[in-house]
Structure 1
Amino acid sequence: MSATQNKVICVKTVGMDSRKQAVFRMAFKMHTMQRYELAEDAIGMKPDLAIVDMDCVDGNLLWENHGSENPDLPTLIVSMISLPDAPVPVLVKPVRIETLFPLLRQVLSERTTPGRQNPPQSPPQSPPLQVVQNAQPELASQPVPSSVNAPSSQPAMQKMPEQVGRFDPTRGLLGTLQEILQAKRPSMVMIANQNSLIVFPEQERVMVLQDLTQLKNACENEGVIITTRALQKEDKPDNRNIVVSNFVGLLWQVAIWTSRGRLPDGIPVHAPVKLKYWPNLTRMAPIPNALRMAAFLVRSPSSLPVAVRMLNVPPANLFDFLSAAYSIGLLDVIESRREAAETPPVEPVLVKDEAKGGMLSRLLRRIVGL
């Protein structure tokens, strides 16, 4: 089973109290593209994966018991420290949405199981420094070589790429959803002649009939044929096999899949852009640095090079964020400077010195002849 199949994914927690479970329960409610539920809330369901908290008391013993009782259950470890020798992926606390769900999908797709292995060990601690009492004074006064200085923690400065990739937001699955939104007509979206989405634009609701991986592939492959038709009475899917999602959230996700670090054609590079209002990021697919970019662009307009320099974020993250915001009508491109940004500069016409000299000479000759 893959992490994107349209079913409820039951998650078993090991070594967590009610407060820790509440963190994951809230994260699962925010994720609308795939339904996750804790085993405590999904009574009677067989767990699809497990999350083991190694920071609890007797964490190693719990891991051994979990591995012996569930050797074939895909498992994710959460811990406050990195565990390089762990047999399964490790999510380092604090738990963040942008890292949690990609790891859950990885665990389910790769089927990383604990088996009957030893518990992961914490990295060895550095030995304490020993003070040598009989050290020679001249050695203590020698300067420390620059090669042993601590490495700088300052992140590398991000820069705008010389060539910015572009895509047409009116084509593909993203363009199809935009047309349905403008027409405000319930529609069936078919990808490669297969029923994939039932869209109710006025209710801002969508039923996902296919695997989310197929939707992502349709966004990445421009050759996929996407068609629509009016919704019919016989289009009544089995509610147990579909995912009901928010239409705005789906547009946001499809824009990210389509962008892939590129800009839509409607956003000039040097024109100032601004968010019209604060987005509800808790209901949207995560983008790295989305919170910082939203806080920066909601206050005042900024061009893309300035935003990259001020925020020091990878341009691909900024382009994905702008593409998603643009797709749901959240982005405002300042029109007063848009034409100036899109129109190439006109070279001024210079008057040659020879022409000036010739005219002055003629005037002088006329004055002398008076």
Structure 2
Amino acid sequence: MNNSIPKVKTAYVLLVNVDDRQTAMLRMAFKMYNSVNYQLIQPEDNLKPELVLVDGDTADGEEVWQQTKKKYPEAVVVFFGRNAPSFTAPYLMKPIRFDTLFQHLRNLQQGNGVWLADKAAAHKETASEETVTAERLEQHNASEHTQQAVSVVRFHTKGTLLGMVQKLAQQSEDTAILFENKPVLIVFPSVEKVLLAVDNDALQQLCMQTDAEWQTKTVPASAPTAQLHDKAKLTLQSCIWQLSIWTARGRLIDPITPDTIIKLKAWPNMTRLAFLPEAMRLSAFLVRTPVALNTLYKLLPVSLEDVLNYIAATYSIGSLIIEQPLTHSAAQQEKEMVLTRKAPQKVSKPDGGAPTSEYNESDDDKPKGLLARLMGRLRGN
């Protein structure tokens, strides 16, 4: 046994009177915290809880807390609610703030964070770090209002270059996409590769086209297919990943909504895909934790633009599992959606701003010779 591996303390936590939504959020937070192994238990587990959180917002919340306190005299029984109790008790305020949750839980375990029903007595204890006074709670409550509201704009892939490439990827024939009768790229589904006929800047500009009249032409049977496959350096997955980032531009891809539950099937191969800020952090989180965008945005201090671009990219390449809420409807999809959280920190991007694709064509790879003749035929010349 390797004794150099640090042992993580396990703290058993029992939830009483807590609804499913709050339970799911706490369970998710506990999974992401590594310093202490907070483990949710049930009464029938026959384990002694160290912390018991009692939801006090229900009509009988205070009575339930009193009963729970008698049942678990050795545990720290916490009153969990939006408003403080009418009696002296350890108190955890709603809503949950993930950036301070574990600090509060640690204080509660150490006997701190006690709400004093007598405000005069509480005022006398302001100098003591072991007591949460009314003034500190008011400051905490005020900080909750420093949240930033952000509107989420959604987009459809229909009529976009991304949508066209995804459609052709499902077919069997090698097909070129043209815009204004000029070849843009050729999709080779059989070898899962793409041959670019324009440079990255032009491709990025074309990704901004919506409801455009894209033309398609099947690669002529007389064309030397093997040579064209060799010239195609970009994998189909890398192409779709990059196009989705350029198409999303900080927007939420249809059919996902802020309430859609998302989970990553498996890690994308980041070494072969265009750079995307925070992709590693988001992948590490979503590969093990199903979550809605609303919650993900509050949990991780990541730029919303980076989150939405990542969702678009992983969904477009088929790496994202989605589960729509039962109340999901077309009317809800189209209405304005707003996310709120504490103002996020700015996330620096690499010099140059926009991400770049894995493969940049050199002068030697520009359409010429055999390829140039093929492009001419595709144009109809």
TM-score normalized by structure 2? 0.45
Higher relative contact order (CA 8 A, sep 6+): 1
Q: Which has the higher strand share?
A: 2
Q: Name the TM-score, length of structure 1 as normaliser.
A: 0.46
The higher radius of gyration belongs to 1
